[in-house]
Amino acid sequence: MVPIRTAVAILIPEPIAGRLTELQHTYDLPPWEPRIPLHITLVTPFTTQETIEMLTKRIAPVVTHRAPFVIELGDLSRFDNEESVIFSSVTSTDMLTTLADTVLATVLDLHLPRSRPFIPHVTIANKAPREIVNGYFERLANIHVNERFFCDRFALLHLDEQNQQWYVTQEFPFT
C-alpha cells in the first residue's frame, strides 16, 4: 500500500468560510501550504498505510447517536512557536472536546498522542516569522469574528502530494 497523509476536521460552513476567506484576502494573510479548506482540526495530519476505506470504517462509529451542537468562533488570537499563526478562537465545549478525543481514539494506534492540549481554533494566517505576524495582528486589531454554526458532521481529509492540496474524502454526518 502507498502511504497517505490524512487528517480529521470540522469544515467551516458557508457563508462563514467565505467571510473568513475574504478576511484572508483583504489583509493579504499568508495562506496554508498545502491548500486546505478552513477547518477546526480534530486529529492533526498523520501518515498511514491504511486506505481511506479502512480509515472510514474505523471512524464511522463515532457519529452514531451523536447530536449536533453549536460551535462559536470568536476574536482573533495567535500561537507563537518557532513561527506564528493567527487564528479565530473557538469556544471550547465538552461536546467539541469529547468529539475530538473520541475521533483521536479511533486512530491512536496510527497517530502519536497529542503533544499539546486540544485548543480548538480556525487558522486564518499560516506560519510566518513572529515579526511579520506582529504586523498582521496590528492591522487586524479592530476585526472581530463572532460567528456560530451547528456542527452536525466532520470530515476525513487526505493530502494530494502532487497537487499540494487537501481534499475531503469522506464526510461523517451525525446520526
Q: What is the pLDDT along the chain (175 residues), one digit of tens a residue?
A: 789 999 999 999 999 999 999 999 999 988 888 899 999 999 999 999 999 999 999 999 999 999 999 999 999 999 887 778 899 999 999 999 999 999 999 999 888 777 788 999 999 988 888 888 889 889 998 999 999 999 999 999 999 999 999 999 999 999 8
Cα distance between residue 40 and residue 52, in whole Å:
20
What's 85's domain CATH number?
A: 3.90.1140.10
pTM over 0.85: yes
What is the domain count for the chain?
A: 1
What's the first-to-final CA gap in the chain, in angstroms?
Answer: 32
Give the domain range for residue 154. 4-173
One DSSP character per residue, 107-154 reads: HTTTSPPPSS----EEEEEEEE-HHHHHHHHHHTTT----EEEEE-EE
Three-state DSSP class for residue 9 = strand
Angstrom CA distances, 130 to 87, 90, 97, 136, 142, stand at 14, 22, 29, 10, 20
Cβ(142)–Cβ(131) under 8 Å? Answer: no
